[in-house]
Amino acid sequence: MSHQSDLIATDIDAYLKQHEQKQLLRFITCGSVDDGKSTLIGRLLYDSKLVYEDELAKVQSDSVRQGSVAGGFDPSLFMDGLKEEREQGITIDVAYRYFSTAKRKFIIADTPGHEQYTRNMATGASSADLAIILIDARHGVLTQTRRHSFIVSLLGIRHVVVAVNKMDIDGVDYSEDRFNEICDDYRSFATRLDLPDLHFIPISALNGDNLVDRSENMPWYTGSTLMNFLETVYIGSDRNLQDFRLPVQLVNRPNLNFRGFCGTIASGIIRKGEEITVLPSRQKSKVKEIVTYDGNLDEAYAPLAVTLTLEDEIDASRGDMIVRSGNLPRSESDVEAMLVWMNEEAMVPGKTYLVKHTTQTVPGNVETLAYKVDVNDLHRMPAPTLELNEIGRVRLSLSAPIHHDPYRRNRTTGAIILVDRITNATVAAGMILDRGTTGSHKSVWDDEVSADDSSDALSTVTSEERAARFGQKPATVLLTGLTGSGKTSIARAVERKLFDAGRSVAVVDGEFVRRGLSRDLGFSADDRSENLRRSGHLAHTLNDAGLICLASLVAPSDDVRQKVGKLIGEDQFLVVHVATPLEVCRERDTKGQYAKADAGELSNFPGVTAKYDVPTNPDLAVDASTTSIAECADAVVELLKSKGFIK
């Protein structure tokens, strides 16, 4: 075996101690069907002399009967252990192998390439430090290559090796140009993914080129071999050692004199004497002892299993979390997450599932499905549900708060699974998303469905049929201006004129929206942006139903107004600037808002304590101080006629 040492013969205890101290690297192989994942691992083990003689003899015998290389030695049989896998020549379930070299210990997860087993691939990737994505040099980047790359990025695997396999095949012939072509193609796709450490290696898994030893057939490649890269890639900075998190798994009470809280440290470092906080009670104490099987420690770090005793008697139980005071995770009952759906039965929004998070299990339901992701092109699309192997962004409503961090920051406290309450089957794996530091209602413009996504795809009634029925084309008219400018009065006047003319029309009033849909929002820049986003979606829905929408909002930011236009569709979005002068708006203010803003009682008030961006190129500008409301309304109606929305 390649990891043998002289210490085995001279000092077995010293050898075992040296072996225990080796760093562990978990990695997976993934990619499309028949790209050579199992062959790669088998050859890697064989060339590294990490296969026992009896196992080698069995594989050599099976290669004649079940191998896929015309009776020759088939390294893939080291991994494909299921009868069905050997018969079909595919990987079905995740197969794990454990081995070590002189420098490191390794756990390999060989994951299936078929689309129907995507959930198995996600399971194998959930604990990996590194991913090897194989690409067949003949076929290049395929759909399943993109799918697995997206899941690798989603699961936060920082280190990725793209192994371009089968460089020895006729037609490829170890071509440097073909290798570079595939690398460029993959890079163009990967720019939209979060893969911070990306490497490319040309290999032949069947022949062993560039696996353990450098290939003589590819002298143009001067980079590292695959085994050398696995032994030297730096993963020390991947682990979160800043945020101390200890989910309580068990309260250890062997006698009256000892009471300890047991668990595996999810992240961070804890030392004797440091102050801690127990969640959710928020009781504080200090660490008295850090107890382990091998004796007490002065400090402990992830991923050690420890028992903490505290200086004070504090009530804590399984499901609680011990953290360092001053560095608390979020405690929320509403979280947003990316879900990988793993069940044959589709996700049902509103259905109650069991949500498992660290050592805590709480009932919860999928409140909304924001979108699902087409992993082929990363396009986000609306959907009523998630089917098997589909991925989407959801908002979960839980019966009790969970203490979590974003998955990107902490893969333990940021991970959840959903379990069916009846069958007890795991139906989904989830990664909790970062909602930002300004509150749970931060503007999410960049996370939502593309602007040109229409409800036509979800309806049997087309927009053309609606236009024919109503005798009009749908449009949204945004009337923007300072508080007191007359926006709402003009919108109501236009509504009456259009309704009297037989048109189908509705008004979205910003003040009315704040009483209901946005009653949870304040008046900060982010909250105003979020209010306009919600109003924009409401207007978009009305347009999809064939109606003309008159939206009356202050909408002070030009940037946000442009985003609303993209959301609704620029071909059916009009901006009307109600350009009433500020002094006139002050005179019309019956609620005293301007006076409060002047006195500092209202912050972020457009025109006084916050900026109002005057539209640079509105479709129409009216001044309600020099023109009557009726005349302003007539001008808006004429605008709709001139743009062809009504006749």
DSSP one-letter string for 401-438: EEEE--TTT-TTTTEEEEE-TTT--EEEEEEEPP--SS
Residue among 181, 108, 115, 188 nearest 148 (CA): 115
The dihedral over CA atoms of 3, 8, 13, 15, expressed in degrees to the nearest 10, equals -30
pLDDT of residue 635: 95
pLDDT of 512-526, one tens digit each?
A: 888 888 887 777 777
Q: How confident is residue 151, by pLDDT bands cut at 50, 70 and 90?
A: confident
Residues 95 and 79 sit within 8 Å (Cβ to Cβ): yes
The predicted model gives 334-338 an average pLDDT of 92
CATH class of the domain defined by 331-435: mainly beta
CATH class of the domain defined by 7-232: alpha beta
Helix (H, G, I), strand (E, B) or coil at 264: strand
Residues in the chain: 647
Least confident of 159-168, 198-207, 588-597: 588-597
Nearest 5 degrees, angle CA 529-CA 606-CA 585?
130
210: which 2 tokens? 């560039």
pLDDT of 554-588, one tens digit each?
A: 999 888 898 899 889 889 999 999 999 999 999 98
Residue among 627, 194, 94, 616 nearest 434 (CA): 194
Tokens 């030297």 found at: 232
Binding residues for ATP are 481-488
Q: Does 92 or 415 have the greater pLDDT score?
A: 415
Beta-carbon count within 10 A of 480 CB:
28
Q: How confident is residue 192, by pLDDT bands cut at 50, 70 and 90?
A: confident
Q: Calculate what percentage of the chain has a pLDDT beyond 90.
A: 45
Residues 215 and 276 sit within 8 Å (Cβ to Cβ): no
d(CA 411, CA 240): 9
Q: Which amino acid is at 492?
A: R
Domain segments of the chain as ranges: 7-232, 245-324, 331-435, 455-642
- Write the CA distances from 633 to 475, 490, 502, 596, 620, integer angstroms: 16, 6, 16, 31, 11
Nearest 5 degrees, angle CA 398-CA 401-CA 403?
125
d(CA 343, CA 364): 17
Binding residues are 31-38, 110-114, 165-168, 481-488
d(CA 466, CA 44): 62
Q: Which residues contact 438 (CB under 8 A, 6 or more apart)?
A: 524, 526
Same fold, 7-232 and 331-435: no
Q: Does 314 or 239 have the greater pLDDT score?
A: 314
Beta-carbon count within 10 A of 638 CB:
11
pLDDT of 476-510, one tens digit each?
A: 999 999 999 999 999 999 999 999 999 999 999 98
Q: Which fold, 455-642?
A: Rossmann fold (3.40.50)
pLDDT of 532-551, one tens digit each?
A: 999 999 999 999 999 999 99
Q: Does 358 or 389 have the greater pLDDT score?
A: 358
**Helices 143-154 and 118-125 meet at what angle, rounded to 10?**
40
Binding residues for GTP are 31-38, 110-114, 165-168
Beta bridge partners of 134: 31, 163
Q: Which residues contact 317 (CB under 8 A, 6 or more apart)?
A: 248, 251
Secondary structure (DSSP) of 69-87: STTS--GGGGT--SHHHHH
Q: Which amino acid is at 512?
A: F
- Write the CA distances from 345 to 11, 132, 348, 391, integer angstroms: 56, 31, 9, 14
**Is residue 87 pLDDT above 80, yes or no?**
no
CATH class of the domain defined by 245-324: mainly beta
Q: How confident is residue 303, by pLDDT bands cut at 50, 70 and 90?
A: confident
pLDDT of 433-450, one tens digit each?
A: 986 433 334 445 544 444
Residue among 38, 106, 96, 103 nearest 66 (CA): 38
Average pLDDT, the chain: 84
- Write the CA distances from 79 to 47, 87, 226, 284, 339, integer angstroms: 15, 13, 18, 50, 29
Helix (H, G, I), strand (E, B) or coil at 223: coil
201: which 2 tokens? 């290696």
Q: Which residues contact 329 (CB under 8 A, 6 or more apart)?
A: 243, 245, 279, 321, 323, 403, 404, 405, 410, 413
Beta bridge partners of 574: 477
d(CA 446, CA 219): 45
Which secondary structure element, helix H or strand E, spans residue 539, and what is its range? helix 525-544
Least confident of 21-30, 120-129, 479-488, 510-519: 120-129
**Is residue 451 pLDDT above 70, yes or no?**
no
Q: Which amino acid is at 196?
A: P
d(CA 189, CA 102): 36
3-state helix, strand, coil in the chain (%, to 5): 30, 30, 40
Rounded to 5 degrees, φ, ψ at 634 are -60, -40
